[in-house]
């Protein structure tokens, strides 16, 4: 990172000039972060395209546009104050991070202020875990899910009040209804999930699964959970990214909206950009969904 003290500054420079140089150095450092982040996603796109040999040219174009949008932090950039906070936070040490987060002066609209609160709580929790000795880091999928994933999504619900969560071994009503035998009204097999998100009207919005631990990925388990989540999204009929493919009637095209890796220590802090781009996307979609759900709930939707 840039450090003004390492440069040869003439003692004749005014304090104001030195402050400007510090500001320029800080901005340059932020640009480097964004460029590194973009390079990561260029690599991600190449890797994704290489093993999707059966993907149509049209879908490849959409995939490329989607990955570019994610690498550009499209949704996070729509919250400029929140983006500035996370960029400044990336420059802080673990010891100084919490104090910085909670003394940061926020001047933003309510929607952006809620996103900032999510960042503050999530990063404070993460800073405390950065000091955890390696021998105490959980390896099972259940521990990692509870320890690292749940706090992020729970903060979304707590700070926005857009959704509420049920965690671990909960049964989606939508799955039970979809598996019911129509002739006898007999319930089908139950399916427990690791996380279930409902809106204020009780509608199931997101079905979540924790498939692997911290150190190794269980490929078979991940594949099985992915198929179950695809089925879950069809059951809830709430996925805005599941659309009928006109060329293959009865089939769906499913899009991975955002992807992110949760940082485990300070050396991986750049990954928070991907995480909060995902969070910003989810919060934005939840707010847009209210515009659709509210008229339906009030019985005012006309055809």
Residue-wise pLDDT tens digits, 141-150? 678 888 888 8
Task: State which of 29, 56, 83 marks the end of a domain.
Answer: 56
Residue that the structure tokens 């999510």 belong to: 118
* C-alpha angle 185-189-191 in degrees, rounded to nearest 5: 125
Q: Quick one: 190 and 48 in the same domain?
A: no
Determine the pLDDT at residue 211.
Answer: 62
258 and 122 inside one domain: yes
- Full DSSP string of 202-231: --EEEEE-----SS---HHHHHHHHHHHHH
67 in any annotated domain: no
Please check whether residues 267 and 150 belong to one and the same domain: yes
How many angstroms separate the CA atoms of 81 and 91, rounded?
Answer: 16
Do 80 and 30 fall into the same domain? no
Q: Does residue 161 contact residue 110 with C-beta atoms inside 8 Å? A: no
Inform me whether the pLDDT recorded for 287 exceeds 50.
Answer: yes
| pLDDT of amino acid 154 | 92
Please check whether residue 64 lies inside any domain of the structure: no
> 44: pLDDT confidence band, cut at 50, 70 and 90?
very low
Q: Is residue 62 part of a domain?
A: no
Q: Are 252 and 284 members of one domain?
A: yes
pLDDT of 98: 95
pLDDT of 75-127, one tens digit each? 999 999 999 999 999 999 999 999 999 999 888 899 999 999 999 999 999 99
pLDDT > 80? residue 190? no
Least confident residue range of 11-15, 250-254, 256-260, 285-289: 11-15
**109 backbone φψ class: left, alpha, beta (φ>0; ψ -120 to 50):** beta
Query: Distance (Å, rounded) from C-alpha 203 to C-alpha 7?
Result: 58
Per-residue confidence band for 259, with pLDDT thresholds at 50, 70 and 90: confident
Which residues share a beta bridge with 208?
195
Chain-wide mean pLDDT for the chain?
Answer: 72
Q: Residue 114's pLDDT is what?
A: 96
Judged against a pLDDT cut of 90, whether residue 54 lies above it is answered with: no
| 195-239 residue pLDDT tens | 677 777 777 777 777 766 555 666 665 666 566 666 566 555 543
Question: Does any domain span residue 85?
Answer: yes
Q: Please, which pLDDT band fits residue 303 given cuts at 50, 70 and 90?
A: very low
- Is 63 within a domain? no
Residues 182 and 156 in one domain: yes
How many domains is the chain built from? 2
Any domain includes 22: yes
Do 219 and 85 share a domain, yes or no?
A: yes
CA 300/CA 181 separation, integer angstroms:
32
- Span between the terminal Cα atoms of the chain, in Å: 58
Assess whether 83 and 196 both reside in one domain: yes
61: in domain: no
Instruction: Give the CA radius of gyration of the chain.
Output: 22
Residues 87, 119, single domain; the answer is yes
Domain carrying residue 50:
1-56
CA–CA gap between residue 215 and residue 11 (Å, rounded) = 52
Percent of the chain at pLDDT above 90? 28
The reply to whether 52 and 200 lie within a common domain is no
pLDDT at 46 over 50: no
Residues 131 and 214 in one domain: yes
Kindly state the average pLDDT of the residues 41-70: 66
Whether residue 13 sits in one domain with residue 94: no
144 part of a folded domain = yes
């Amino acid at each position: 990172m840039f450090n003004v003290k390492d440069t040869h500054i003439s003692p004749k420079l005014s304090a104001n000039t030195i402050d400007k140089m510090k500001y320029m150095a800080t901005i340059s450092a932020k640009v480097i972060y964004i460029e590194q982040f973009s390079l990561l996603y260029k690599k991600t796109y190449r890797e994704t395209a290489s093993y999707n040999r059966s993907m149509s040219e049209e879908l490849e174009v959409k995939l490329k546009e989607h990955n570019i949008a994610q690498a550009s932090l499209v949704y996070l950039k729509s919250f400029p104050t929140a983006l500035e906070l996370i960029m400044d936070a990336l420059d802080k040490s673990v010891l100084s991070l919490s104090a910085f987060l909670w003394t940061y002066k926020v001047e933003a609209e309510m929607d952006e202020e809620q996103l900032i609160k999510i960042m503050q709580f999530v990063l404070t929790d993460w800073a405390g875990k950065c000091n955890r000795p390696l021998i105490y880091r959980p390896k099972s999928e259940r521990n990692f899910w509870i320890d690292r994933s749940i706090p992020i999504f729970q903060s979304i619900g707590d700070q926005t009040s857009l959704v509420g969560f049920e965690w671990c071994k909960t049964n989606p009503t939508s799955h039970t209804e979809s598996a019911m035998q129509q002739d006898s009204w007999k319930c089908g097999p139950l399916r427990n999930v690791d996380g279930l998100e409902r809106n204020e009207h009780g509608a199931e919005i997101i079905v979540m699964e924790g498939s692997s631990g911290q150190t190794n990925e269980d490929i078979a388990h991940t594949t099985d959970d992915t198929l179950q989540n695809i089925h879950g999204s069809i059951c809830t009929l709430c996925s805005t990214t599941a659309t009928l493919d006109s060329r293959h009637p009865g089939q769906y095209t499913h899009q991975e909206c955002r992807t992110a890796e949760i940082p485990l220590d300070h050396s991986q802090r750049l990954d928070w950009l991907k995480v909060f781009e995902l969070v910003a996307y989810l919060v934005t979609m939840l707010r847009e969904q209210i515009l659709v759900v509210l008229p339906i709930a009030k019985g005012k939707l006309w055809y």
